[in-house]
């Protein structure tokens, strides 16, 4: 394949586009790979499209290799399947909805679980047909509240997603492992230095779930990792709970006057001043903060939930949301307090709480049996000291909703947790029977009994991966593609006006492309060498061959874009060298 820059549909920009902040967005636009068409929507230009296609090809190879089969669905779908699964409503504002000329509701698919499920239901009805693995590589649509960072979060994007169908849990586990291994191979081939983190399966329901995250300050996901190798999305981090302790010797709880202490900070100040401890000053983590929330259940009914966390921590609404899924949590409003007079704003205490009182009460795992707390006494201006968990109050359970901090002990006991940002490039999870149940996907098992199929779901953001690779490889000169995804294998350029250089380059272009390499040939006349060098670096093809002033000595220059490593060699040796480096 020979791409001649004299006729390639490409215009590089000398200056950075003003609307691009993150490196991948800035460079992909500047190098002429993509152009913005709308907020969150991009046109793929020839070079960009080649990168996208190469990534797709790698994904298809690995999916095919595990026996998955590709299918293709419409992006424009009728409402009914999504009504049946509940997602016509659950998906909320993120769903692009539209009407046809008859007024019938349609949507632009944000993902295709329903269609896969219904397709299998349509054709298969026996355990003998399973396991089955299907996948698609398609454009998805989500009306994101805020598209950003170029390809990293768009309203239209390319995604590969696959689904596994099994008759039992063991089958699902095997299908999951199979995909997991394929994903490892895919991301390794893309050259991405990813981290696999435990994740919550979120709105999709299901059990086991892992994300593939590319650590990057431009990423939107926060995850933690430990020195010992534990890694998890913040939503899935498990808190190390202290051992339950005996409270036989603990002092009795006592109520004290703490006027004007509606916040933890004011409370601690008053405790230090009026009720000093003997061993050390009071700190915020001695107090128990009870955060009141209102849950909206899927059926539309409301129910209050109180979450108790150590006073030095806030409730992380994302972590909470993942825990109460599919219900939706919101802060308790003044009107809500009015409806629940037992709750004294600013002085809520465990003694007024509990499922038996209609106020479900869950605590952070740090609030372990036997631990004493200073907390609200359910009266304005009063707190209770030495209220012991398990003796003076019994929560309805524990909940992982407190904020996670760098330095918190890791669940694997290997030391403090580190907090980092990253780009989610893949997500695999065991979906379970949720969709199969509601869409009635059942097969006959060996006993002739109808059983609900269990599913797995496995996604890769393909267009996002283009940005992720760019993001993890660029340097100050421009893009810097790994060979596996580069739009060409070799960037060949003629420098100078020497006819002989031109002849040598023409011959090399011919030879390399005939040998099966894709050559991006900068054959532009009347373009100065400086411009060509700068473009070559910006475009980021892994190998750069220059036919220029050394041609008179029978030599061309050979450069590895990423390392800057250079050599001069005879034109006749270029092909062998390209082969050698391309295989590396």
Partner RNA sequence: CGGGGUGUGGCGCAGCUUGGUAGCGCACCCGCUUUGGGAGCGGGGGGCCGUGGGUUCAAAUCCCGCCACCCCGACCA
**Per-residue CA distances from 187 to 15, 58, 60, 214, 404 (Å):** 32, 9, 13, 10, 28
Separation of alpha carbons 397 and 402, rounded Å: 14
Distance in angstroms between the alpha carbons of the first and the last residue of the chain:
20
Q: Residue 218 Cβ, how far from RNA at the closest point, in Å?
A: 8
Nearest residue to 536 (alpha-carbon basis) of 514, 567, 557, 508? 557
Pairing between β-strand 221-225 and β-strand 397-398 as defined by DSSP bridges:
unpaired
Q: Residue 201 Cβ, how far from RNA at the closest point, in Å?
A: 6
Q: Residue 496 Cβ, how far from RNA at the closest point, in Å?
A: 4
# binding residues, RNA (CB under 7 A): 66
Q: Residue 220 Cβ, how far from RNA at the closest point, in Å?
A: 5
Q: Percentage helix, strand, coil, to 5, in the chain?
A: 30, 30, 40
Contact between 520 and 543 (Cβ < 8 Å)? no
Q: Interface with RNA by CB under 7 A: which range of 32-40, 70-78, 99-107, 187-195?
A: 32-40
Tokens of 422: 């990253």
Q: Is 34 in the site for RNA (CB under 7 A)?
A: no
Q: Is 142 in the site for RNA (CB under 7 A)?
A: yes
Q: Residue 53 Cβ, how far from RNA at the closest point, in Å?
A: 19
Q: Residue 175 Cβ, how far from RNA at the closest point, in Å?
A: 17
List the one residue from 15, 249, 278, 279 that touches RNA (CB under 7 A). 15
Identify the burial level of 303 via C-beta atoms within 10 angstroms of its C-beta, where 0-12 means exposed, 13-18 middle and 19 or more buried.
middle
Separation of alpha carbons 453 and 137, rounded Å: 23
Q: Residue 577 Cβ, how far from RNA at the closest point, in Å?
A: 17
Task: Considering only residues 413 through 432, tell me which ones interact with RNA, judged by CB under 7 A.
Answer: 427
Binding marks (x or -) toward RNA, 515..544, rule CB under 7 A? -----------xxxxxx-xxx-xx------
Task: Considering only residues 183 through 202, tell me which ones interact with RNA, judged by CB under 7 A.
Answer: 201-202
Q: In this complex, which beta carbon is closest to RNA, that of residue 60 or of residue 148?
A: 148
Task: Considering only residues 214 through 273, tell me which ones interact with RNA, judged by CB under 7 A.
Answer: 220
Separation of alpha carbons 336 and 345, rounded Å: 11
Note the Cα 109 to chain centre separation in Å: 19
Q: Residue 228 Cβ, how far from RNA at the closest point, in Å?
A: 26
Q: CB neighbours (10 Å) of residue 566?
A: 11
Task: Considering only residues 73 through 92, tell me which ones interact with RNA, judged by CB under 7 A.
Answer: 91-92
Q: Is 207 in the site for RNA (CB under 7 A)?
A: no
List the one residue from 2, 8, 10, 16 that touches RNA (CB under 7 A). 16
Q: Is 456 in the site for RNA (CB under 7 A)?
A: no
**Per-residue CA distances from 261 to 266, 363, 377, 379, 382 (Å):** 5, 22, 12, 11, 8
List the one residue from 1, 4, 13, 228 that touches RNA (CB under 7 A). 13
Task: Considering only residues 143 through 182, tell me which ones interact with RNA, judged by CB under 7 A.
Answer: 144-149, 153, 159, 161
Q: Residue 489 Cβ, how far from RNA at the closest point, in Å?
A: 19
Q: Residue 534 Cβ, how far from RNA at the closest point, in Å?
A: 4
Q: Residue 412 Cβ, how far from RNA at the closest point, in Å?
A: 25
Hey, which residues does 427 pair with through a beta bridge?
A: 211, 459
Q: Residue 495 Cβ, how far from RNA at the closest point, in Å?
A: 4
Nearest residue to 25 (alpha-carbon basis) of 48, 49, 9, 46? 48
Task: Considering only residues 100 through 129, tell me which ones interact with RNA, judged by CB under 7 A.
Answer: 110-111
List the one residue from 204, 236, 388, 519 that touches RNA (CB under 7 A). 204
Q: In this complex, which beta carbon is closest to RNA, that of residue 89 or of residue 528?
A: 528
Binding marks (x or -) toward RNA, 474..493, rule CB under 7 A? ---x----------------
Q: CB neighbours (10 Å) of residue 292?
A: 20
List the one residue from 50, 140, 366, 383 that touches RNA (CB under 7 A). 140
Q: CB neighbours (10 Å) of residue 237?
A: 26
Q: Interface with RNA by CB under 7 A: which range of 356-364, 367-375, 438-446, 546-554?
A: 546-554
**Per-residue CA distances from 351 to 354, 356, 388, 389, 433 (Å):** 8, 11, 11, 11, 39
Contact between 33 and 17 (Cβ < 8 Å)? no
Q: Is 37 in the site for RNA (CB under 7 A)?
A: no
User: Buried b vs exposed e over 473-487: b needs ≥16 C-beta within 10 Å?
Assistant: bbeeebbbbbbbbbb
Separation of alpha carbons 412 and 398, rounded Å: 19
Separation of alpha carbons 513 and 506, rounded Å: 11
Angle separating helix axes 23-30 and 462-473, nearest 10 degrees: 100
Q: In this complex, which beta carbon is closest to RNA, that of residue 441 or of residue 465?
A: 465
Contact between 522 and 540 (Cβ < 8 Å)? no
Q: Residue 292 Cβ, how far from RNA at the closest point, in Å?
A: 17
Q: In this complex, which beta carbon is closest to RNA, that of residue 214 or of residue 538?
A: 538
Q: Is 497 in the site for RNA (CB under 7 A)?
A: yes
Tokens of 438: 């509601």
Q: Is 368 in the site for RNA (CB under 7 A)?
A: no
Task: Considering only residues 303 through 362, tell me which ones interact with RNA, judged by CB under 7 A.
Answer: 317-318, 321
Q: In this complex, which beta carbon is closest to RNA, that of residue 154 or of residue 349?
A: 154
Q: Which residues contribute to the site for RNA (CB under 7 A)? A: 11-19, 21-22, 25, 36, 38-40, 91-92, 94, 110-111, 140, 142, 144-149, 153, 159, 161, 201-204, 220, 317-318, 321, 427, 459, 461, 477, 495-497, 501, 526-531, 533-535, 537-538, 546-551, 557
């Amino acid at each position: 394949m020979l791409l001649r820059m004299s006729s390639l549909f490409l215009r590089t920009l000398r200056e950075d586009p003003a609307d691009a902040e993150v490196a991948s967005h800035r460079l992909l636009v500047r190098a002429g790979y993509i152009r913005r068409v709308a907020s969150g929507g991009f046109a793929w230009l020839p070079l960009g499209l080649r990168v996208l296609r190469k990534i797709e090809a790698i994904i298809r190879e690995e999916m095919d290799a595990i026996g998955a089969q590709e299918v293709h669905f419409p992006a424009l779908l009728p409402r009914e399947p999504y009504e049946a699964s509940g997602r016509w409503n659950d998906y909320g504002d993120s769903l692009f909805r539209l009407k046809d000329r008859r007024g019938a509701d349609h949507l632009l698919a944000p993902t295709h679980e329903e269609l896969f499920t219904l397709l299998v239901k349509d054709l298969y009805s026996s355990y003998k047909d399973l396991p089955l693995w299907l996948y698609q590589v398609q454009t998805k649509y989500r009306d994101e509240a805020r598209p950003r960072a170029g390809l990293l979060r768009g309203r239209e994007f390319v995604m590969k997603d696959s689904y596994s169908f099994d008759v039992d849990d063991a089958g699902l586990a095997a299908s999951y492992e199979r995909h997991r291994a394929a994903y490892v191979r895919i991301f390794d081939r893309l050259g991405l230095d990813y981290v696999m983190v435990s994740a919550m399966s979120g709105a999709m329901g299901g059990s086991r779930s892992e994300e593939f995250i590319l650590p990057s300050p431009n990423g939107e996901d926060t995850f933690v990792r430990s020195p010992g190798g534990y890694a998890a999305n913040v939503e899935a981090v498990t808190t190390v709970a202290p051992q339950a302790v005996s409270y036989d010797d603990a002092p009795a709880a006592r109520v004290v006057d703490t006027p004007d202490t509606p916040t933890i900070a004011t409370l601690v100040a008053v405790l230090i001043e009026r009720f000093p401890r003997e061993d050390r000053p009071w700190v915020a983590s001695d107090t128990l903060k009870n955060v009141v929330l209102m849950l909206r259940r899927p059926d539309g009914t409301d129910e209050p939930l109180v979450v108790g966390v150590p006073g030095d921590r806030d409730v992380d609404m994302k972590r909470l949301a993942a825990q109460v899924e599919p219900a939706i949590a919101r802060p308790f409003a003044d009107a809500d307090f009015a409806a629940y007079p037992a709750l004294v704003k600013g002085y809520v205490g465990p003694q007024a709480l509990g499922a038996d009182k209609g106020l479900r009460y869950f605590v952070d795992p740090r609030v372990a049996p036997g631990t004493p707390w200073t907390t609200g006494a359910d009266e304005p201006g009063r707190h209770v000291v030495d209220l012991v968990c398990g003796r003076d109050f019994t929560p309805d359970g524990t909940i992982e909703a407190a904020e996670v901090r760098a330095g918190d002990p890791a669940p694997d006991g290997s030391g403090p947790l580190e907090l980092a940002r990253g780009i989610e490039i893949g997500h695999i999870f065991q979906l379970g029977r949720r969709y199969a149940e509601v869409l009635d996907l059942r097969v006959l098992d060996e006993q002739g009994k109808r059983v609900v199929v269990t599913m797995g779901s496995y996604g890769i953001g393909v267009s996002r991966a283009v940005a992720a690779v760019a993001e993890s490889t660029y340097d100050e000169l421009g893009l810097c593609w790994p060979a596996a995804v580069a739009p060409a294998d070799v960037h060949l350029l003629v420098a100078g006006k020497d006819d002989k250089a031109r002849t040598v380059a023409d011959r090399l272009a011919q030879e390399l492309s005939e040998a099966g390499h894709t050559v991006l040939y900068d054959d532009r006349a009347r373009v100065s060498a400086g411009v060509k060098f700068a473009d070559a670096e910006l475009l980021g093809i892994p190998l750069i061959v220059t036919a220029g002033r050394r041609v008179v000595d029978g030599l061309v220059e050979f450069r590895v874009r990423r390392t800057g490593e250079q050599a001069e060699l005879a034109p006749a040796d270029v092909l062998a060298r390209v082969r050698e480096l391309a295989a590396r």
